[in-house]
Structure 1
Amino acid sequence: MRQLLLTAALCLASLGAHAAGDRIVTGSDRGTYIEIGRDLSRLIGKPAGLPLEVLPSKGSAENVRRLRSEPGVRLALVQSDVYRAYLDQANAGDAEAARLIKPLRVVMPLYDEEIYFVARADSPLRSIHELRDKRINVGPVGSGTALTATTLYRAMFGSPMLEQNTSFLSNEEALVKLATDKSIDVVVIVAGQPAKLFADMKSEARQYIKLLTLDRAAPETQALDGTYVPATIRATSYPNWLTQDATSLSVKSMLVTYDYQSPDVRASLTRFAKSMCSNFEKLRTEGHAKWQEVSLAPPQLPKGWSYYAPTQKVLSHCDTEAEPARNVASEGKAPAASSCSQSREVLGLCRVASR
């Protein structure tokens, strides 16, 4: 009887996973990633007979884990610096990071996501390189924003953020605390423009918050490598908030999958790639504005990164007129392994209590 119950439970679990269908993990409900996921589901997956359930998440680091462990998750949106951080940890000897990242494959690089450094309107801070020792909210543990914020800080100042100065609140919670009780100096948010969080703001927001800008001449920002590049946050994206364009930084986003060997899954993702070829212009005309920045021509990936062979075979031939996009990241030196560094914590590689 015990064996029969166990068998029945396994069968039900299998049926439940199958019934869930194919899924794509994205980002927060008010972020750009979830809109991109909905575009892919509606305009690419549906015509391919691959209806994708679009799932919200904390962001890129969580998406890597869910792609590896959650039934039915076939695709994930991941920032290139998060992907690289996992690779660096793996190359430094982190077995868990290697287990998570080594079997993942890039379907296609997407667009550059802008990085917003938000301060109070009355703050004396003006530029990104003035962040040293400030109280900074980096987003939830497991989010791509947390990884980006902590990596940028370490690259600019040569040391991790002070623990007592680092908070892991959601974007909305952090912006409220920034503007009210002033317990936070800067909120870091990563989102492709126009981001709903800022686009929905009323003009009164100018009285409370402002953007810090990039000073390219500052030694701290010159220390950044090619993973992060200058970007313009346009006033036209946020007319109720910005009165002029602002220069900041950006990071490349990518569409990622697992190195599936199952004939059925390979066939499904091949159909998805063919649908991308056929319906790419619909993404540009009917989808989020960021699709205007995406090219179908696959660029050469940095060392240690690999394309998913079935989709690359299709995508590399469906748009021969497209100009290759720039490399999504530059090869970097792996950091020394540690028991629980700030990078390992925000990647979810440490078993830490929620803050």
Structure 2
Amino acid sequence: MFHQILKRIALVAASLFAANIAMADSFERNIMTGGPTGTYIQFGRDIAALGKTCGLNLNVVESAGSLENFSALRNRRNTQFGIVQSDVLEYLKTYEAHDAQIQQAVRGVRIMFPLYNEEIHILARRDIADIRDLAGRRVAIGKVDSGTYLTASLMLDILGIKDAQRLEYTQDQALPLLEQGEIDAFFYVAGAPASLFVKNNIDASRFHLLPIRDEALMRTYTPTTIPAGTYSFQNEPVSLVSVKAVLMTFEYEPGKNAYHRESCRSVSDFSRLILDGLERLQGDGHPKWKQVNLTAVPPGWRVGACVRQGLESDYKPTCVAAPVSSNNEQYLDLLKQRLKP
């Protein structure tokens, strides 16, 4: 199952390339995010708002999630940024050396910044006590090409849960189906507090978040806890696991053509804006910004040259308006050490 999912990245990349050959050459900036109620899209909007303080427009694009976002960075015109889950990156690295299609899919994709840990939520009926109890149940695992789909598939396979009925519903589709008794549980990878669970009145007597403590999962995922009261239906702390969300970009070559030159400049500009504006993002943006450590780069992945250019001490963003700024010299020195090629 792992390899079939990763092969799909190459197929998505090919289809995106074919679909974008005829696109207009006009320059614009886009960030691939996720569904309308997810944390990715809120992070994208926060970054776009930061760009506006500099007079730089950034379009926030809804998507299926991590797999589509990764492929789009290499193949979707005018797409310089995308948010991807770290387990997607880990399994790409695992298979890259032995698979030419995956090598092609990852070529040129680079790290921009690590972001935050995303909790793996499994909302289930009360009579389901443990993730292994999903055997034989109707389980929504997310839309194909989403990070939730990949993570749910990997976790069920790692645990050897082969007989769960895996249904390809988004989390927005899955919640009413769970409430109506059409499914028994659904996966949702999102930074807590996830707005889907905050905005909906979920019946605590019927549904709960499954604890995830299985040792077999700890080799791939990070243990974490959702504190009591994070959601109205959740009165006790819940131990589960998480993956890291990572902001990705492409290795543009400024000498190649005008599009590469403008895209590289945009990557440099937003790298600097995020660094200088991190305090503002932590104060005004999604609560998960408070957990962001820009130096926690996943092992084995290269940081883009255009990113590093934006972190040079004398780099100035090409702003139309005055950019946000902060006193970040010590943080900048540490970041530059961590992001060396």
User: Aligning the two structures, in what range does the TM-score lie when normalised by the shorter sequence?
Assistant: 0.7 to 0.9
Give the whole-Å Cα distance in 2 for the aligned partners of 1:308 and 1:132: 42
Matched, 1:176 2:176: yes
Question: Which amino acid is 2:262 matched to?
Answer: D
2:26 corresponds in structure 1 to: 18
Picking from 72, 92, 97, the partner of 2:98 is 92
CA contact (8 A) 1:83 1:101 kept: no
TM-score of the aligned structures, taking structure 1 as reference length: 0.76
Once the 2 structures are TM-superposed, how far is the Cα of residue 175 of structure 1 from its aligned partner? 2.2
TM-score, L = length of structure 2:
0.79
Asked if 1:128 corresponds to 2:131, the answer is yes
Give the unaligned 5+ runs of structure 2. 1-20, 255-260, 314-327, 336-341
The amino acid across from 1:85 in the alignment is: Y
Cα deviation, residue 283, structure 1: 0.3
Structure 2 distance, partners of 1:58, 1:272, is 24
8 A contact 1:118–1:209 mirrored in 2 = yes
2:267 to 251, 266, 269: 269
Q: Which runs of 5+ in 1 are unaligned?
A: 1-11, 216-220, 326-355
Whether the aligned pair in 2 keeps the contact of 1:118 and 1:187 (CA below 8 Å) is: yes
Between the aligned residues of both structures, percent identity stands at 32
Aligned to 2:162: 161
Amino acid at match of 2:33: T
Runs of 4 or more, structure 1, over 6 Å off, are 322-325
For residues 297 and 70 of structure 2, the distance between their equivalents in structure 1, rounded to whole angstroms, comes to: 22
Equivalent residue for 1:347? none
- Once the 2 structures are TM-superposed, how far is the Cα of residue 273 of structure 1 from its aligned partner? 1.5
RMSD, aligned CA: 2.5
Looking at structure 2, the residues matched to 251 and 35 of structure 1 have their Cα atoms a distance apart, in angstroms, of: 18
Distance 1:30 1:299, change over 3 A: closer
Change (3 A) 1:281 1:140: same
The match for 2:114 among 101, 109, 120 is 109
Structure 2 match to 1:346? none
Q: Provide the rounded CA distance (Å) in 2 between the counterparts of 1:143 and 1:324.
A: 33
| Alignment check: 8 A CA contact 1:295 1:323 kept | no
Question: Residues 255-305 of structure 1, C-alpha deviation per residue, up to 9 Å, x if partnerless?
Answer: 000111123322221111121222111100000000000123x235423x1
Once residues 186 and 221 of structure 2 are traced to their aligned partners in structure 1, the CA distance between those partners, rounded to angstroms, is 18
SS, match of residue 205 in structure 1: coil
1:322–1:69 CA distance, 2 compared to 1 (3 A): closer
The answer to whether 1:71 aligns with 2:77 is yes
Tell me the matched-pair count.
295
The 8 Å contact of residues 138 and 188 in structure 1, kept in 2 or not, is answered as: yes
Q: Which residue of 2 is the match for residue 148 of structure 1?
A: 151
- Given that 1:28 and 1:56 are in contact with CA atoms closer than 8 Å, whether structure 2 keeps it comes out as yes
Aligned: 1:200 with 2:206 = no
Say which SS state the counterpart of residue 142 (structure 1) adopts: coil
SS in 2 for 1:223: helix
Are the structure 2 counterparts of residues 323 and 174 from structure 1 closer, same or farther at C-alpha, using a change threshold of 3 Å?
farther
